[in-house]
Amino acid sequence: MNAPVPTSNFLDRFESRLRASLTDPGHAEREPRVLLEASEHLAFAGAAKRMRPMLVDHFGAAVGLDGQVRLAVATAAELIHTASLLHDDVIDEGTERRGRPTANVQWDNSVAVLGGDLLLCIALEQLYDLPRPVTRTAVDLVAEMTRAAMLEVQARRERNWDLGEWETIAVGKTGSLLAWCGTASAIAAGRSELAERLAGCGRHLGLAFQLTDDILDLVGEKTGKDRFADLRNANPSFPVAFVRSHDGELRAALDELWATPTANDDDLDTMAAAIVDSGAPDETLRRVEAHLDEALSSLGEFADRPGGEHVAAWADQLRNIARHSLENS
């Protein structure tokens, strides 16, 4: 998914700031260097979308946030995201990310976990010169992401989740960081009264992204082992959660599938077709649209102003991607 154009050359300035944060002699000249090598390997992979920094730029423009402060918040957001991916790939035993081998594969789990820890420290350092509440909200954010990641591991293990668990995990894992882009931008700009509105916009955008990803897992053009990855691994996804909450028969069939170690690709195909027939993907699309509407209504009058209009364009783009994924399925 591409994001809309950010304000003039923000991304170039962001890339320099990100690189400076990782080449700061306070860290870069200290052993063991492998932790920063692994971090750079992921942070500067070409396929990184820089969605969070751009969101900070857009929110920052909407609330008149100073350019340097905007870069600091954007860098912190991207580093928190990168740290969470280093950890996530250890948890999920991921092998490829952003077109490169994951750090846990290229190096090992210790490097990936400790590299993520160091990145998290560097992320928080970016906020030292900003008002204290910005750092406090960042710490709260990391705690929320951490709890959500563990809830997801437990859900996958216990295989007993439905819509309630899905929502808690999606808000914590994805919505919270996009929400923080709004919170931090508003607080750092001295416009705390707007923090909840911008956070709401980010959170709803995050949920819309997560839902679109969930649709694509079910009806997207994936092949091989990747196809139906969520379904195969009992990984909480909205369409499956919807079915589990609303259709007792399908829930029982899913329980049986997940309890059958010999389940094969044909079994997965049959289950995926039943979930599609139940109307879950259409319901997922309805939720995408509802979250995008909420994101726009949180923006209110800012939707027509600089920065806000980029966010609104972004929401439109995501709406189209979600609609097309269903049309072409």
Give the footprint of Mg ion on this chain (CB under 5 A).
88, 92
Q: How far is CA 25 from CA 9, 22, 28, in A?
A: 26, 9, 5
Cβ atoms 35, 114 nearer than 8 A: yes
Nearer to Mg ion (CB atom), residue 78 or residue 92: 92
DSSP state of 192: G
176-to-21, 34, 109, 206 alpha-carbon distances in Å = 23, 30, 26, 8
Q: Least distance in Å: CB of 94 to Mg ion?
A: 5
Binding mask 188-227 for ligand FPP (x = CB under 6 A): ----------------------------------------
Does the protein bind ligand FPP through residue 13 (CB under 6 A)?
A: no
| Among positions 174, 176, 185, 284, the unique one binding ligand FPP when judged by CB under 6 A | 174
Between 14 and 166, CB nearer to ligand FPP: 166
Q: In DSSP terms, which residues pair with 169 in a beta bridge?
A: none
- Take residue 206 and report the two structure tokens written for it: 């995050």
Residue with Cβ nearer Mg ion (7 or 235):
235
Count, residues near ligand FPP per rule CB under 6 A: 16
Q: How far is CA 110 from the centre of its chain?
A: 23
The residue behind tokens 């914590």 is 172
176 binds ligand FPP (CB under 6 A): no
Residue 8's SS3 state is coil
Q: Which does 84 bind (CB under 5 to 8 A by kind): ligand FPP, Mg ion, none?
A: ligand FPP
Of 94, 101, 220, 279, the one binding ligand FPP by CB under 6 A:
94
How far, in Å, CA of 167 to CA of 241, rounded?
Answer: 9
Residues from 133 through 152 that contact ligand FPP (CB under 6 A): 142, 145-146, 149
237 binds ligand FPP (CB under 6 A): no
Q: What's the CA gap between 103 and 310, in Å, rounded? A: 33
Q: What is the C-alpha to C-alpha distance for residues 191 and 197, in angstroms, rounded to an integer?
A: 11
Residue 326 near which of Mg ion, ligand FPP, none (CB within 5-8 Å, type-dependent): none
- Interface pattern 71-90 for ligand FPP (x via CB under 6 A): ---------x--xx--xx--
Contact 113, 38 (CB under 8 A): no
Residue 146 CB, shortest distance to Mg ion, in Å, is: 15
Peptide bond connecting 32 to the previous residue in cis, omega within 30 degrees of 0: yes
Q: Tokens 């990747």 identify what position?
A: 226
Q: Which residues lie near ligand FPP (CB under 6 A)?
A: 80, 83-84, 87-88, 91-92, 94, 116, 120, 142, 145-146, 149, 173-174
